[in-house]
Amino acid sequence: MPSPRDDCLFCSIAREGAYVNKTKGFVAIHDINPKAKVHVLVIPERHVDTFREVGEFSAKETKRMLEFVAETAREVGLNDYRVLVNVGRSAGQTIYHLHWHLLGGDASGEDIPAGVATAEAEL
Ligand code: AMP
Ligand code: ZN
């Protein structure tokens, strides 16, 4: 496992956050500025800047990461939800440590604002 980056917020949170869910190598936390009734972030302990570098995870880690996203949704009571990764500045990425947004709990998925869910309009 590569060393955590001292200057990375999500490296710090992955080490010592208040978790919604945790498994080996991955944590889930509540988003500090929720864009849906339930807005959870799944964060790998391994630092990669963006989803572009997802190939740095082994096949086994990648499978576990995706399973953990689904398992976390179940844990927080979501059956219907959106899974989203912003990749790069113009797509809305503000924190350069890979993370998966889990958004749900609203009556309609259409309530999720454009800034988080549909940044493709600006691409
Ligand atoms: P993104 O814009 O895709 O990079 O997502 C970053 C997300 O991290 C945003 O939804 C922020 O609200 C959230 N965020 C920023 N700082 C924190 C924090 N300290 N704890 C939890 N969520 C945070
Ligand atoms: Zn990091």
Ligand lying nearest the CA atom of residue 93: 1
Task: Identify the residue whose tokens are 């600006």.
Answer: 122
Please report the pLDDT score of residue 1 as a whole number. Answer: 57
| Residue 95, ligand 1, Cβ within 6 A | yes
Active-site amino acid positions: 99
CA nearest 24: which of 1, 56, 48, 3?
1
CA of 29 to the centre of ligand 1 (A): 10
Please report the pLDDT score of residue 2 as a whole number. Answer: 63
Please report the pLDDT score of residue 6 as a whole number. Answer: 83
Q: What residue segments make up the domains of the chain, in order of their start? A: 9-122
Please report the pLDDT score of residue 17 as a whole number. Answer: 78
Domain 9-122 in CATH: superfamily?
HIT-like (3.30.428.10)
Neighbours of 16 (CB within 10 A): 8
| Residue 93, ligand 1, Cβ within 6 A | yes
Which residue has better confidence, 120 or 41? 41
Which residue has better confidence, 120 or 101? 101
What atom of ligand 1 comes closest to residue 95's alpha carbon? Answer: 4
| Residue 79, ligand 1, Cβ within 6 A | no
Q: For residue range 10-29, list pLDDT tens digits in order.
A: 999 999 979 999 999 999 99
Provide the token pair at 122: 């600006």
Q: For residue range 76-109, list pLDDT tens digits in order.
A: 999 999 999 999 999 999 999 999 999 999 875 5
In this structure, the residue with its CA closest to atom 1 of ligand 1 is: 93
| Residue 16, ligand 1, Cβ within 6 A | no
Instruction: With a cut of 70, say whether residue 123 has pLDDT above it.
Output: no
